[in-house]
Structure 1
């Protein structure tokens, strides 16, 4: 490579990094938007209806733009694993949405950041991946962070916090299934199967606890549904341009941003213990990522 090519490569790298930061900003805004939309819907509808209408919006979008994936969908590759993955993911979403309704937004996002720990644990159990020393330390650090957030003994622990931890475990298990699916299925097909399976699941669940739907609910349905699709799409775009070791600390900014939104939108007090405990969880996982990255090199 000549010296004249170096500035061009450097410019491209900087451009890609800047684009990755922008995609991450959109992803964080989308996650928080989905949370606010879900909470607002839950004020008049049941949580099961919230899940259904969120999936319904996704179904409409998929029908509009996902026709090119029909040939792959018709092959029915690993359909049983798709079903298992989405049943687990649907249950995790149910528990997570309860947490969004019952807990401050920042607490939910902080507890959700235990997910990488669950991924490492399930990868060890199901995929026989080695549970490295950095991951063991990350697990211990994550546990300490959870204790800081919920602070057992200082007051009655909200059961919703336990549900969010179960949701994080469910998301972790779902990611393990996705990792297996990506060997034979495209990311687009995985998303399509998610919508096709979870929309009927949501409808069946919603019919068991149906409340009257009003026209005023429609905007929040769009915020929750489009926010869910946008969050994952933007995050995937960011991961194309940024390494995971960069994405993780940026993504953690969801916690203080959610605290600010919760403060202004719902009058939630900004709990420094939540930020402190979430920081412990973040640093534990971040150090594990850096250690494993150095070992792979």
Structure 2
């Protein structure tokens, strides 16, 4: 019994590390955005993230007789057009998400980002033909209620900027569905490599329209943004390989208090009651959706043990 317990403990620690990595990334995005345009922050996040990723892809093949051929085989794909679509949508989601982090209170921006699984459920119905029963529809409806509580379109507190954060969540959901589709035909390393390889030039083009060379400590914030984003993504992937997504999802919610505390200490932000209530509803809805997805995945593995489990990203 000790081995499963150790695996669950490692998964929890990896997810906690991932959560802190993504939380720090959000903080560094806000700090960098004080002197650098959002487009450019995204470009440097992708560039420094790609530099952090490459050694992890290259080092394992250096011990092989033909390293270059081994690396080419590791990242080979026959689906480049699909990656172009996936990364274009991903860039749009990133721009919206970074803009929200730069211009909205951090707690509000991150709370709305957590609504992405709600839109993933809807996209899975439309794009993958998945069946969703009453309980998950109820969770989706409650999640929408949480989004409305934060956005408050009926109130004088409503801001069009909150819709940018919602757009980021919707686009992120589309990306998640595309990754699920690509994971059926390519390995996780291939997906990650081509995502970054295409993200860098795609995010450079709009940055050139309003380019500001970073100076001083801005370079540190930009490098840290890329490093923390890559670390968070890699730890998240490894956590999900070891543990159950429904058990690990609540740990990822720790990002919200981390960024809320940073928003208060660094930027003098306070969290209003509507954001707290809406975030609570969204997190509860997201947890149930993750729990139900994990149940369905276990049932599918039990009923079809010969099928390979799709690799995570």
On whether the aligned pair clears a TM of 0.5, the verdict is yes
Q: Distance in 2 between matches of 1:74 and 1:261?
A: 38
Q: Distance in 1 between matches of 2:195 and 2:289?
A: 30
Q: Does the 8 A contact of 1:51 with 1:94 survive in 2?
A: yes
Q: In the comparison of the two structures, how many residue pairs are matched? A: 288
Report the counterpart of residue 8 of structure 2 in structure 1: 17
1:31 is matched with which residue: 14, 22, 25? 22
Q: Distance in 2 between matches of 1:238 and 1:55?
A: 22
Q: Distance in 1 between matches of 2:242 and 2:143?
A: 27
Report the counterpart of residue 37 of structure 2 in structure 1: 46
SS at match of 1:213: coil
1:268-287 correspondence runs (5 A): 268-287=269-288
Report the counterpart of residue 3 of structure 1 in structure 2: none
Q: Which runs of 5+ in 1 are unaligned?
A: 1-9
Q: Which runs of 5+ in 2 are unaligned?
A: 62-69, 300-313
Report the alpha carbon displacement of residue 34 of structure 1 after superposing the two structures with TM: 0.8
Report the alpha carbon displacement of residue 196 of structure 1 after superposing the two structures with TM: 0.6
Report the alpha carbon displacement of residue 208 of structure 1 after superposing the two structures with TM: 0.8
The reply to whether residue 254 of structure 1 matches residue 245 of structure 2 is no
SS at match of 1:121: helix
Q: Distance in 1 between matches of 2:76 and 2:6?
A: 39
Deviations 1:105-164 (A, max 9, x none): 111111111111111111111111113222211221011101221223332411111011
Report the alpha carbon displacement of residue 11 of structure 1 after superposing the two structures with TM: 1.5
- Please, what is the CA RMSD of the aligned residues? 1.8
Report the counterpart of residue 130 of structure 1 in structure 2: 131
Q: Distance in 2 between matches of 1:12 and 1:74?
A: 33
TM-score (norm 1): 0.91
Q: Distance in 1 between matches of 2:254 and 2:105?
A: 16
Q: Distance in 2 between matches of 1:79 and 1:286?
A: 34
Report the counterpart of residue 5 of structure 1 in structure 2: none
TM-score (norm 2): 0.87
